[in-house]
């Protein structure tokens, strides 16, 4: 029987850049909203349709050369991402309609860019086109004929270069979405590790090492083993090493890889528990980012570490009140087994810093529900021991369209994570996102460190910009861009 799961990573649309129209390919054109000079009547009609020019509006033209008009509002680059995403969705449904009506499916379409569109506009449009039509479905049905190619019609001299970079960034986001969307009955820690190894194969200077539970026990990864101990699917540690020749800076990226979070014995309520299949979204962002960094051949040494475990309920689950010994020896008093992310990250941070002596460390994790309350679901929280690093993360995010907000590591609260029975206290109460970050800080020492809490933006329940409901791939693009900023 055919496995109904889609291939991971899935295929992105092919992109072509060209300065001429090819006859027969359905064509879309981008239209800015009417300005004052256009007067009350607005924009001139095209094929009997009066364009609105509103961002996100896609109008169908029944006759003539152009089939779709996609509004770009005030024409700012940001609007191009929304327009690209709305357009690709509209074109895909038009294709479906064509097929339903018994017509031959077109597999390519072209988008004509305005003369004055710059590199940034092209990049934004490309993000929208590549990611806006993202879908992940598990079905017994045969795959429907879909879009294969989009051609950008532009004379911009840097278009091809800009598009190539964006394609790699979009591929990272889409791959991170695929990993996080994969259901947890498939996505065991071993599956995640095997998939990371498989997709990294053949990329120059990139190697992936997978450690099993036996190795983790020998090395003393008490946090990973405690969390993973309740599951029939044993934990793994995924280590991705990208070693370009001549690079001097070395960055360590660590991602939470909880393949499902039941909460453990401190079990979560049934409502919403299914969403915890994306609790490895931080790890997914890191696997996808390291792959893209290597594919782009960025001249920076990067190590990715993903402690992968399933937080489950059984006779071998860890318990509230347990004292766990992490890699390196520090002990944690467990207060709540649902605070499992910090348990696995603590081991990986100590191990990665000791082994690799990186110049800076960045971790990404769907760590706390509190973060979702603080910043909502479209902005990630950045905690950092280093102002310059925090600034780099935020700026990298701006360049790729991911929003970050700096959060404080409040010194007043530092003592709440100090233990009495053990060295540190895992879940002492207080402002959840901050306390979790302070807990992690106990394991990083002096190296510049940034902690990205993406519990909010890692998933979406609405369609917006280039995001569709489900996993968003948030942080993957920021991480690639962050690493690029060191080159």
Q: Applying CB under 6 A, which residues contact ligand BES?
A: 261, 279, 336, 338-341, 366, 368-370, 372, 427, 432, 455
* Active-site option among 81, 342, 372, 441: 342
Rounded least distance, CB 287 to ligand BES, Å: 18
Near Zn ion by CB under 5 A: residue from 341, 358, 422, 431:
341
Rounded distance between C-alpha atoms, residue 229 and residue 316, angstroms: 6
Of the pair 162, 476, the CB lying nearest ligand BES is at 476
- Residue 350 has a CB neighbour count (10 Å cut-off) of 22
Of the pair 80, 439, the CB lying nearest ligand BES is at 439
Rounded least distance, CB 481 to Zn ion, Å: 26
Of 256, 303, 291, whose CA–CA distance to 455 is shortest? Answer: 256
Residue 338 binds to Zn ion (criterion: CB under 5 A): yes
Is 395 catalytic? The answer is no
Near Zn ion by CB under 5 A: residue from 178, 241, 279, 442:
279
Rounded least distance, CB 335 to ligand BES, Å: 7
In the stretch 240-259, what mask flags binding to Zn ion with x, by CB under 5 A?
A: ------------------x-
159-167 contacts at long range (C-beta below 8 A, 24 or more positions apart): 159/17, 159/119, 159/122, 160/17, 162/119, 162/122, 162/123, 162/126, 163/15, 163/17, 163/122, 163/123, 163/126, 165/123, 165/296, 166/123, 166/126, 166/127, 166/130, 167/12, 167/15, 167/126, 167/130
Rounded distance between C-alpha atoms, residue 148 and residue 157, angstroms: 25
Q: Where are the beta strands (DSSP E) in 22-77?
A: 27-31, 58-60, 66-71
Rounded distance between C-alpha atoms, residue 109 and residue 125, angstroms: 14
The entry of Zn ion, ligand BES, none that residue 384 binds, CB within 5 to 8 Å by partner kind: none
The owner of tokens 């017994």 is: 140
Rounded least distance, CB 384 to ligand BES, Å: 20
Of the pair 59, 337, the CB lying nearest Zn ion is at 337
Q: Which two three-digit tokens encode residue 83?
A: 């327009």
Of the pair 153, 224, the CB lying nearest ligand BES is at 224
Task: Assess contact for 369 and 432: CB atoms under 8 A.
Answer: yes
* Active-site option among 78, 165, 268, 406: 268
Residue 333 binds to Zn ion (criterion: CB under 5 A): no
Rounded least distance, CB 263 to Zn ion, Å: 5
Is 268 catalytic? The answer is yes
Which residues are known to be catalytic? 268, 342
* Footprint on this chain of Zn ion (rule: CB under 5 A): 258, 261, 279, 338, 340-341
């Amino acid at each position: 029987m055919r496995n109904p799961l889609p291939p991971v990573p899935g295929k992105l649309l092919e992109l072509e850049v060209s300065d001429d129209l090819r006859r027969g390919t359905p064509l879309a054109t981008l239209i800015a909203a009417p300005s004052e000079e256009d007067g009350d009547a607005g924009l001139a009609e095209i094929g009997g349709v009066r364009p609105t020019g509103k961002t996100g509006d896609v109008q169908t033209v029944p006759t003539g050369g152009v089939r779709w008009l996609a509004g770009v509002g005030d024409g700012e680059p940001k609007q191009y991402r929304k327009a690209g995403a709305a357009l690709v969705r509209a074109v895909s449904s038009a294709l479906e309609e064509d097929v339903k009506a018994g017509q031959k499916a077109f597999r390519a379409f072209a988008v004509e860019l305005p003369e004055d569109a710059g590199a940034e506009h092209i990049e934004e449009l490309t993000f929208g086109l590549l990611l806006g039509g993202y879908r992940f479905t598990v079905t017994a049905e045969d795959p429907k004929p879909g879009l294969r190619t989009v051609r950008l019609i532009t004379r911009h001299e840097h278009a091809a270069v800009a598009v190539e970079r964006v394609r790699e960034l979009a591929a990272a986001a889409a791959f991170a979405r695929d990993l996080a969307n994969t259901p947890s009955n498939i996505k065991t820690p071993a599956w995640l590790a095997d998939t990371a190894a498989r997709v990294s194969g053949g990329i120059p200077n990139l190697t992936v090492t997978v450690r099993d539970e036996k190795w983790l026990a020998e090395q003393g990864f008490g946090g990973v083993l405690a969390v993973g101990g309740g599951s029939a699917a044993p934990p793994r540690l995924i280590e991705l090493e990208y070693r370009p020749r001549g690079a001097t800076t070395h960055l360590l990226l660590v991602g939470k890889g909880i393949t499902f979070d039941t909460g453990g014995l401190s079990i979560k309520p049934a409502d919403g528990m299914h969403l915890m299949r994306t609790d490895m979204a931080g790890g997914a962002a890191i696997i996808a980012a390291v792959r893209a960094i290597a594919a782009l051949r960025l001249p920076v040494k990067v190590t990715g570490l993903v402690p992968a475990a399933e937080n489950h309920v059984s006779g071998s689950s860890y318990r509230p009140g347990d004292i766990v010994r992490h890699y390196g020896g520090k002990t944690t008093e467990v207060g709540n087994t649902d605070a499992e992310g910090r348990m696995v990250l603590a081991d990986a941070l100590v191990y990665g810093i000791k082994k690799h002596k990186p110049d800076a460390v960045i971790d990404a994790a769907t760590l706390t529900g509190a973060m979702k309350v603080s910043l909502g679901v479209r902005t990630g929280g950045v905690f950092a021991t280093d102002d310059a690093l925090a600034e780099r993360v935020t700026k990298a995010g701006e360049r790729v369209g991911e929003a970050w907000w700096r959060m404080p590591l409040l010194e007043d609260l530092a003592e709440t994570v100090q233990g009495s029975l053990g060295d540190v206290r895992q879940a002492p109460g207080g402002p959840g996102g901050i306390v979790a970050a302070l807990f992690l800080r106990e394991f990083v020492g002096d190296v510049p460190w940034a902690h990205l809490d993406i519990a909010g933006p890692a998933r979406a329940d609405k369609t917006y910009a280039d995001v569709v409901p489900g996993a968003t791939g948030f942080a993957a693009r920021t991480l690639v861009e962050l690493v690029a900023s060191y080159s």
